[in-house]
């Protein structure tokens, strides 16, 4: 008998197997090498469809866990007190969100940086991403205002509650830093990067839809859905998920800064009134009272009162369009120009045009340009994807259905005076 010994070599990330005959039996080192080769093939022969199936199952498991936690909080005596602590609440929510990532990476042997496109960015693109986050504010404000015609401001109320419990740096960590890293890694990283193998269009819609539904209420769903799609355009333009993490962080940190800063500003104005009284500057006092109202409240009480009064204002879709749409169109156009600049600066503009604008493929250089390398192809096949791949598997359909039902139930219960 002449057993075969496998020797493995890595050439351009692919194993080349060389079979060499030997007269003696397998040595210990040969056996270890053979086992490692078999393990490599076991981890690297996971099909795209199998990846998608695992992702969809993991999403369903996470959504079910979140639903169970919500039911426990709602109906188990004493459980609500634990989750009323926003530190525990947010850590629990983000922990459940990252569960699919742990499952996928551990059992499918996936490399984090490869799966989520964690790549270096040029300093200029980082600056453009920061600019983009501020340009998108009017667009997201418009979307948010449209949703407020039908529901309440969930984010503002949540952050206001958080500001009464925890200091500002902790709030930034919980509300801005953790979601920017964890949610982008899951939804724009693992989910979108695998979904797009079935076609970019379907991947954009489905990943953004799942992202929105995971927020659990109509107000956050609307702008999370829009934001999810914009983030994908940004990632494809920059070639790195770092860009969407930056925008996500700034988008979340702006309202945190506002809700912590405005009560402090109120206290400063209250203190200034005493100075104006001593100086006899009644006009300044009248102006402050006209703009901020009651001066006998604390900063937190004033902020909550302002928010409650704003919710009483009857806003219709016509008023929203008239007041918010013009700025959304202007700044949205500027945001698009920034995304285009990022794509050009990253060497991804030709590819971006192909996969999102449907233009004909154009030849691009495939040589490496260092750590900020552009993508290697501009093939229309990437836009169309593999038609044999199925995204809407049963677990994903159940997740989407449960998400819609949960939002409907949540919004319905809020409208019932007896239960509110």
What is the rounded average pLDDT for all residues in the chain? 80
pLDDT at 2: 35
pLDDT of residue 44 exceeding 80: no
Top-confidence residue, 420 or 250: 250
Top pLDDT among 138 and 270 is at 138
**Does residue 16 have a pLDDT over 50?**
no
CA dist 129 and 345 (Å) reads 12
Angle (CA) 131 135 138, round 5°: 155
In the chain, % of residues over pLDDT 70 = 78
* Residue 183: CA count within 13 A, CB half-sphere: 32
pLDDT at 375: 47
Window from 180-189, 269-278, 360-369, 391-400 with minimum mean pLDDT: 360-369
Greatest mean pLDDT among 71-85, 148-162, 178-192, 362-376: 178-192
Strands (E), 270-387: none
Mean pLDDT of 7-33: 47
Task: Mean pLDDT check: name the lowest of 51-55, 71-75, 182-186, 282-286.
Answer: 71-75
Q: How far is CA 309 from the centre of its chain?
A: 30
Residues near 33 by beta carbon (within 8 Å), at least 6 away in sequence: 5, 6, 7, 8
Of the listed ranges 72-86, 220-234, 339-353, the one predicted with least confidence: 72-86
pLDDT at residue 359, rounded to an integer: 62
- 298-321 average pLDDT score: 77
pLDDT for residue 371? 45
Flag the least confident range among 61-65, 153-157, 183-187, 236-240: 153-157
Q: Is the pLDDT of residue 382 over 70?
A: no
Taking 90 as the threshold, does the pLDDT of residue 420 lie above it? no
Residue 17: HSE in the Cβ half-sphere, 13 Å Cα cutoff? 11
Structure tokens at 317: 């879709």
């Amino acid at each position: 008998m002449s057993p075969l010994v496998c020797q493995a070599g890595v050439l351009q990330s692919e194993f080349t197997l060389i079979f060499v005959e030997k007269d003696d039996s397998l040595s210990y080192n040969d056996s270890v090498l053979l086992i490692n080769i078999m393990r490599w093939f076991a981890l690297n022969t996971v099909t795209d469809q199998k990846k998608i199936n695992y992702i969809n199952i993991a999403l369903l498991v996470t959504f079910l866990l979140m639903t169970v936690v919500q039911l426990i909080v709602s109906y188990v005596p004493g459980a609500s007190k634990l989750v009323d602590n926003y530190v525990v609440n947010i850590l629990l929510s983000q922990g459940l969100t990252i569960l699919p990532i742990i499952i996928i990476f551990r059992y499918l042997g996936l490399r984090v940086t490869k799966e989520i496109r964690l790549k270096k960015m040029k300093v200029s693109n980082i600056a453009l991403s920061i600019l983009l986050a501020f340009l998108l504010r009017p667009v997201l404000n418009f979307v948010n205002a449209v949703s407020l015609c039908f529901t309440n401001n969930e984010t503002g109320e949540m952050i206001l509650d958080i500001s009464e419990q925890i200091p500002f740096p902790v709030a930034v960590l919980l509300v801005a830093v953790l979601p920017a890293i964890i949610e982008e890694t899951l939804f724009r990283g693992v989910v979108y990067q695998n979904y797009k193998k079935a076609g970019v269009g379907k991947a954009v819609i489905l990943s953004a839809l799942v992202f929105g539904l995971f927020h659990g209420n109509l107000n956050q769903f609307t702008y999370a859905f829009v934001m999810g799609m914009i983030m994908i355009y940004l990632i494809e333009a920059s070639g790195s998920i770092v860009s969407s993490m930056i925008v996500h962080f700034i988008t979340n940190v702006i309202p945190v800064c506002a809700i912590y800063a405005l009560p402090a500003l109120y206290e400063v104005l209250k203190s200034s009134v005493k100075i104006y009284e001593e100086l006899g500057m009644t006009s300044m006092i009248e102006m402050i009272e006209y703009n901020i109202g009651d001066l006998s409240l604390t900063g937190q009480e004033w902020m909550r009162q302002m928010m409650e009064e704003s919710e009483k204002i009857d806003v219709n879709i016509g008023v929203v369009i008239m007041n918010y749409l013009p700025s959304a169109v202007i700044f949205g156009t500027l945001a698009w120009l920034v995304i285009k600049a990022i794509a050009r600066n990253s060497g991804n503009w030709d590819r971006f045009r192909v996969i999102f604008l449907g233009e004909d493929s154009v030849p691009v250089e495939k040589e490496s340009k260092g750590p900020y390398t552009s993508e290697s192809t501009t093939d229309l096949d990437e836009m169309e994807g593999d038609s044999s791949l199925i995204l809407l598997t049963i677990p994903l359909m159940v997740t989407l259905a449960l998400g819609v039902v949960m939002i409907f139930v949540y919004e319905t219960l809020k409208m019932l005076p007896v239960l509110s």
